């Protein structure tokens, strides 16, 4: 039997050593995508679409696991988990409602302002502009990386009682309304004549059913998917403000990813965002019709004059938060939107 030359053995050992050097073989990165709503909502569908695209195109490199309906975290806990995360290989991603980010960037309160947007196209004009970098950049100092905005839709009001919400402040007087954790929302409810009540999303149905609150504001997909219409008498189509989400990830994890991985994920997120907008548009008409056909809450379209009165009543809210959001930023937004 022939002996292998010593120089060949050394070469083989060196080759194996080089092949096994740290960092040469990439481990699979895992992204845990947590959200609080049903998989059938625009956000739920977009999260699933993102996961499917990543798991198909980036198999062996990145795997996305989706946890809907607060199975992993609620919106408050998920952001804390992201901020504390120091893993290079497992990242947490979420899409909390924009109201949740106020404590990290007060400029984002602009999205909560009543009647800032005439319609969803105005929203897209803003989130597709360079202004959002100014609004989201402060999040990085808090351990969060903003990636994209996802729609749910324009919000409507619902109430349980003998009459719908039409006239302000008369129809709001004496009624309590569930709101997200937003001082802007609270100021808006007060301006309309009602009493705001902050409650977690998962408690809304029970609170409505038990009369803890009389009404709430939400996009059509949440009204239908969480069956709020079954414990309400009327839904007023006010389209008074935007309900959207900011897709974020642990900043530490994002920076730890190789550049090519970040590029691929960013491209896929762009596709998922396009899909999300379509899902939200479909829900805006489809879920409204489902509510109308259900035989529970009656849907009421506000007249132009009624909506004008709502606008006048809530106009002072923007002035109240102007210094927090930034007067210059608000001027830029109004100019961008052609107001």
Output the furthest CA–CA distance in the chain (Å, rounded). 101
Pairing assessment for the beta strands 195-198 and 242-250 based on DSSP bridges: unpaired
For the chain, helix (H) and strand (E) counts, in that order, are 13, 11
Please name which of 288, 156, 157 lies closest in space to residue 224, comparing C-alpha atoms: 288
pLDDT interval class at 214 (50, 70, 90): very high
Least confident of 14-18, 22-26, 174-178: 14-18
CB contact at 8 A, 129 and 212: no
Per-residue pLDDT of 285-313, as tens digits, reads 999 999 999 999 999 999 999 999 999 99
Per-residue pLDDT of 278-287, as tens digits, reads 999 999 999 9
Mean pLDDT within 62-73: 94
Per-residue pLDDT of 240-264, as tens digits, reads 999 999 999 999 999 999 999 999 9
Between residues 10 and 72, the one the model is more confident about:
72
Residues of CATH 3.40.190.170 domain(s) within the chain? 26-101+122-151+244-284, 156-242+287-337
pLDDT at residue 7, rounded to an integer: 54
| Statement: residue 14 has pLDDT above 90 | no
Mean pLDDT within 53-67: 98
CB contact at 8 A, 169 and 193: yes
CB contact at 8 A, 148 and 132: no
Per-residue pLDDT of 81-132, as tens digits, reads 999 989 999 999 999 999 889 889 999 999 999 999 999 999 999 999 999 9
> Mean of the per-residue pLDDT values for the chain?
92
pLDDT interval class at 205 (50, 70, 90): very high
Place of tokens 């132009």: 304
CB contact at 8 A, 330 and 322: yes
Q: Distance between CA 328 and CA 211 in Å, rounded?
A: 42
Q: What percent of the chain has pLDDT over 70?
A: 92
| Statement: residue 6 has pLDDT above 60 | no
Q: Distance between CA 34 and CA 92 in Å, rounded?
A: 7
Domain 156-242+287-337 has what CATH class? alpha beta
Per-residue pLDDT of 219-233, as tens digits, reads 999 999 999 999 999
Per-residue pLDDT of 135-145, as tens digits, reads 999 999 999 99
Residue 69 DSSP SS3: coil
- Say how many CA atoms lie within 13 Å of 261 toward its Cβ: 21
Between residues 122 and 38, the one the model is more confident about:
122
pLDDT interval class at 4 (50, 70, 90): low
CA 186 from centroid of its chain's CA atoms? 19
Mean pLDDT within 1-16: 48
pLDDT at residue 11, rounded to an integer: 47
pLDDT at residue 146, rounded to an integer: 97
CA dist 327 to 124, 330, 332, Å?
Answer: 21, 5, 9
| Statement: residue 202 has pLDDT above 90 | no
- List, in order, residues 6 or more apart from 71 with CB less than 8 Å away: 34
Domain 26-101+122-151+244-284 has what CATH class? alpha beta
pLDDT at residue 16, rounded to an integer: 43
Q: What percent of the chain has pLDDT over 90?
A: 85
Element (H, E) at 140: none
pLDDT at residue 317, rounded to an integer: 98
């Amino acid at each position: 039997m022939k002996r292998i030359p010593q120089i060949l053995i050394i070469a083989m050992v060196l080759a194996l050593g080089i092949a096994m050097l740290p960092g040469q073989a990439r481990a699979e990165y895992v992204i845990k995508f947590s959200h609080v709503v049903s998989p059938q909502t625009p956000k739920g569908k977009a999260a699933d679409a993102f996961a499917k695209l990543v798991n198909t195109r980036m198999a062996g490199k990145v795997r996305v696991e989706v946890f809907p309906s607060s199975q992993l975290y609620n919106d408050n806990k998920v952001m804390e988990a992201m901020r504390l995360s120091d893993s290079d290989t497992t990242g947490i991603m979420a899409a909390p409602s924009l109201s949740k980010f106020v404590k990290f960037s007060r400029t984002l309160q602009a999205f909560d302002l009543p009647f800032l947007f005439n319609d969803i196209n105005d929203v897209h004009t803003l989130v597709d502009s360079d202004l959002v970098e100014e609004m989201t950049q402060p999040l990085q100092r808090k351990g969060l990386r903003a990636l994209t905005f996802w729609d749910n839709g324009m919000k409507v009001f619902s109430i349980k009682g003998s009459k719908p919400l039409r006239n302000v402040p008369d129809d709001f007087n004496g009624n309590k309304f569930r709101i997200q954790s937003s001082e802007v929302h609270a100021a808006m409810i007060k301006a309309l004549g009602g009493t705001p009540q902050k409650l977690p999303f998962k408690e809304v149905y029970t609170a409505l059913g038990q009369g803890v609150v009389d009404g709430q504001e939400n996009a059509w997909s949440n009204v239908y998917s969480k069956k709020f219409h079954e414990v309400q008498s009327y839904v007023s189509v006010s389209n008074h403000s935007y309900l959207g989400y900011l897709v974020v990830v642990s900043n530490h994890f994002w920076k730890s990813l190789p550049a090519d991985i970040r590029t691929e994920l960013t491209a896929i997120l762009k596709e998922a965002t396009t899909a999300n907008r379509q899902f939200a548009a479909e829900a805006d008409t489809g879920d409204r019709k489902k509510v109308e056909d259900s035989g529970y809450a009656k849907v009421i379209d506000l007249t132009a004059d009624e909506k004008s009165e709502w606008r006048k009543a809530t106009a002072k809210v923007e002035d109240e938060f102007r210094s927090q959001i930034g007067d210059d930023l608000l001027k830029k937004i109004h100019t961008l939107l052609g107001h």
